[in-house]
Amino acid sequence: MTDAGIILVVDDEPLILELVSAVLEDLRHAVVAVGNSRDALAVARERSAELRLLISDVTMPDMNGDELADAITEFCDSVAVLLMSGQPGDSQLADERDNCDFIKKPFSVTDLLSKVEEMLGAT
């Protein structure tokens, strides 16, 4: 496991959640994967001292990824945020917040890893 802390991955699509988590775990990142915003908030509160990166889908049923990032950064302001979406126009959400980036679905493993390493290097 790397010493970069934990990466919290949030997506309501199980296949995406599993794929992103598996890729990051293969590179020895500590990953916590959850399928909804409510569980993500609970994990973030419980492990805020370890949380380094939030990777979240933008479009989710209860709370979208941008709102989730707002809620988490209220008590964990040093966390980096990587938003992911296949919807046109969602990339602008990353431009509106500090320490945030965006990756468009579908993305390659190489693109995901590049973004993650870039973001963890910046925290």
Summarised one tens digit per residue, pLDDT across range 72-99 is: 999 998 999 999 998 877 767 777 777 8
- The band of 2, judged by pLDDT with boundaries at 50, 70 and 90, is very low
Single-letter amino acid code for the residue at 31? V
Largest CA distance in the chain: 35
12-31 burial, b if ≥16 CB within 10 A, otherwise e?
eeeebbeebbebbeeeebbb
* Domains present along the chain, CATH in parentheses: 6-117 (3.40.50.2300)
Q: What's the predicted TM-score (pTM) here?
A: 0.92
State pLDDT tens for residues 34-72. Answer: 999 999 999 999 999 999 999 999 999 999 999 999 999
C-alpha angle 117-27-40 in degrees, rounded to nearest 5: 75
Strands (E) in the chain, as ranges, are 6-10, 30-34, 51-57, 80-85, 100-104
